[in-house]
């Protein structure tokens, strides 16, 4: 990407739907696992940190909460830096920062130090790795994008399945500090993921590229242009500073109503996404389940999560139904499953809950990035992903501590699952609003096309009459 920045005659090529793209899938697979997979497995550390510092569930949950929020909040930074420096160096720097944060956290003497190291430093490292990698995956795939996104996201499930019992074993053998130190070394593999990110290039004559870029940025800076006025407004010169900023951070997305509605879905979904995985192990332990059985629940959830992502990613790729319709159904089901969690009190019942939760969670996350690409278009996916994560950060930040407040007040971990279920059902309402906006937009587009077609017919008849005379 350094070549791309210095040489204006080079820019990313179109999607290839295969070839080296499968190595990008592998890289994204590992990034998902070493970021969100680690976050989901952190419930094992939660119990140990909670007991070691003799603190409340709310205070301990801020570690994961700050990490999740920083991943989201730092996403636009990762997007902008990768657009300027290139995806590969940014992801490798993020992997190094993630490792440093985790290693430093193993020496923490209080919760504040864990907030700064594991929460902020590691979370920001995750932001620098996750956003650029997922963006590049979108560049390499078009027709197979739903399947590619689903396969890549299974890394979160696979590593959750492996890491949760492994963390429990390491904690038993080396204490939570030793286990965290090993995890810091493991995070260095994110640097290898960055090394796999090979840019796509196509050569374009400088003059042609300049014209393409100017026209593209004209349209981006004026997102509400209608078809009748586009020719007049495209002839105007844009502000050079505005053009330069939008090249790296497309802030005009905040004027896109459909994008903002989808972002609000993300806020409420994030309230419910991260709390269950954090509190599942503690809830099982509070019900008298043995520690390794409690850790196994996360592994069960991860296996069904994997199945859900692959299966429903494949279903989305068949285009049998609209992707947004599929997302609405899975989000509603996920909220309902979480509301039933308090009914599970034995290991067998909790195993069934974990399986159901994992399957529907996987079905949900397998397609939500695909829906985002459909909302804004793949050309704006990098900036859109960054802004989406930024807006969603409020939900990721508040979700675990809000669940922790309910848990502390009711002295029952099941309260956290009830809160998460309600938040997800509310998020589904925004998807319904988005679908109504899509229907209105489609109807308006048909009306415009119909008017244009009628105008062409009238023009043809007038021209025919002129020739006849």
289-348 pLDDT per residue, tens: 888 888 888 888 888 988 888 888 888 878 888 888 999 999 999 999 999 988 998 999
Phi-psi category of 175—alpha, beta or left, where left has phi over 0 and alpha has psi -120 to 50? Answer: left
> Strand pairing of 10-11 and 202-203?
antiparallel
For residue 81, tell me if it sits in a domain: yes
Euclidean distance between CA atoms 70 and 123, whole angstroms: 5
Return the H-helix or E-strand segment holding 202: strand 202-203
Task: Label residue 459 exposed, middle or buried (CB < 10 Å: 0-12, 13-18, 19+).
Answer: exposed
For residue 351, tell me if it sits in a domain: yes
- pLDDT for 447: 61
Structure tokens at 242: 């505005």
Structure tokens at 312: 């429903």
> What one-character DSSP code corresponds to residue 367?
T
For residue 451, tell me if it sits in a domain: no
If one counts the domains in the chain, the total is 1
For residue 210, tell me if it sits in a domain: no
In this prediction the pTM is: 0.65
CATH of residue 302's domain is 1.20.1250.20
Structure tokens at 366: 């397998």
For residue 224, tell me if it sits in a domain: no
Euclidean distance between CA atoms 319 and 363, whole angstroms: 15
Could you count the other beta carbons within 10 Å of the beta carbon of residue 292? Answer: 11
Euclidean distance between CA atoms 245 and 241, whole angstroms: 6
Q: Do residues 160 and 301 make contact, with C-beta atoms less than 8 angstroms apart?
A: yes
- pLDDT for 416: 86
Domain housing 316:
2-201+246-441
Euclidean distance between CA atoms 316 and 345, whole angstroms: 35
For residue 27, tell me if it sits in a domain: yes
For residue 96, tell me if it sits in a domain: yes
For residue 453, tell me if it sits in a domain: no
Please enumerate in sequence order all residues whose Cβ is within 8 A of that of 148, keeping only pairs 6 or more positions apart, or say none: 21, 25, 137, 140, 141
Tallying the residues shown for the chain, one arrives at 469
Q: For each of the chain's 469 residues, which pLDDT tens digit applies?
A: 333 444 443 444 555 677 788 899 999 999 999 998 888 888 788 878 888 888 887 788 888 888 888 887 888 888 888 888 888 999 999 999 999 999 999 999 999 999 999 999 999 999 999 888 988 887 888 778 778 887 888 888 888 888 888 888 999 899 999 999 999 999 999 999 999 988 776 444 444 444 444 544 454 444 444 433 444 447 445 555 555 555 555 667 777 888 899 989 989 998 888 777 778 888 898 888 888 888 888 888 888 988 888 888 888 878 888 888 999 999 999 999 999 988 998 999 999 999 999 999 988 888 887 888 888 877 777 778 777 877 887 787 788 788 888 888 888 888 888 999 999 999 999 999 999 888 887 666 666 656 655 555 554 455 444 344 3
Q: Do residues 88 and 194 make contact, with C-beta atoms less than 8 angstroms apart?
A: yes
């Amino acid at each position: 990407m350094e070549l791309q920045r210095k040489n204006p005659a080079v820019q990313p090529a179109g999607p290839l739907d295969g070839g080296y793209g499968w190595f990008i899938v592998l890289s994204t697979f590992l990034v998902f696992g070493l970021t969100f997979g680690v976050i989901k497995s952190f419930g094992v550390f939660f119990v140990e940190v909670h007991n070691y510092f003799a603190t409340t569930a709310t205070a301990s949950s801020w570690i994961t909460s700050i990490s999740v929020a920083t991943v989201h909040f730092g996403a636009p930074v990762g997007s902008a830096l990768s657009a300027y420096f290139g995806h590969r160096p940014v992801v490798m720097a993020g992997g190094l920062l993630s490792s440093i944060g985790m290693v430093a956290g193993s020496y923490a003497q209080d919760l504040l130090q864990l907030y700064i190291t594991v929460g902020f430093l590691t979370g920001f490292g995750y932001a620098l790795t996750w956003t650029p990698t997922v963006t590049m995956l979108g560049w390499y795939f078009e027709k197979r994008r739903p399947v590619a996104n689903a396969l890549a996201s299974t890394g979160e499930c696979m590593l959750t399945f492996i890491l949760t019992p492994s963390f429990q074993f390491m904690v038993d053998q080396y204490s939570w500090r030793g286990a965290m130190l090993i995890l810091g070394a493991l995070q260095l593999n994110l640097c290898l993921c960055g090394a796999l990110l090979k840019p796509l290039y196509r050569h374009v004559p400088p003059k042609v590229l300049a014209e393409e870029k100017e026209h593209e940025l004209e349209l981006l800076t004026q997102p509400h242009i209608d078809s009748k006025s586009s020719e007049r407004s495209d002839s105007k010169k844009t502000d050079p500073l505005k053009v330069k900023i939008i090249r790296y951070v497309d802030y005009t997305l905040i004027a896109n109503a459909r994008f903002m509605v989808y972002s609000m879905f993300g806020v409420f979904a994030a309230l419910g996404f991260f709390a269950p995985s954090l509190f599942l192990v503690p809830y099982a332990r509070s019900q008298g389940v043995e520690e390794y059985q409690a850790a196994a629940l996360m592994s069960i959830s991860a296996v069904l999560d994997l199945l859900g992502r692959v299966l429903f990613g494949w279903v989305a790729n068949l285009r049998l139904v609209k992707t947004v319709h599929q997302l609405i159904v899975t989000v509603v089901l996920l909220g309902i499953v979480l509301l039933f969690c308090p009914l599970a009190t034995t290991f067998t019942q909790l195993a069934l809950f974990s399986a159901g939760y994992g399957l529907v969670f996987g079905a949900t996350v397998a397609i939500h990035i695909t829906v985002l690409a459909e909302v804004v278009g793949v050309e704006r996916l990098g900036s859109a992903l960054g802004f989406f994560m930024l807006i969603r950060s409020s939900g990721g930040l508040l979700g675990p501590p809000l669940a922790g407040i309910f848990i502390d007040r009711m002295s029952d971990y099941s309260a956290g699952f009830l809160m998460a279920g309600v938040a997800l059902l509310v998020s589904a309402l925004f998807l319904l609003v988005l679908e109504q906006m899509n229907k209105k937009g489609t109807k308006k587009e048909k009306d415009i096309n119909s008017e244009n077609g009628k105008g062409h017919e009238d023009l043809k008849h007038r021209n025919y009459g002129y020739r006849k005379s």
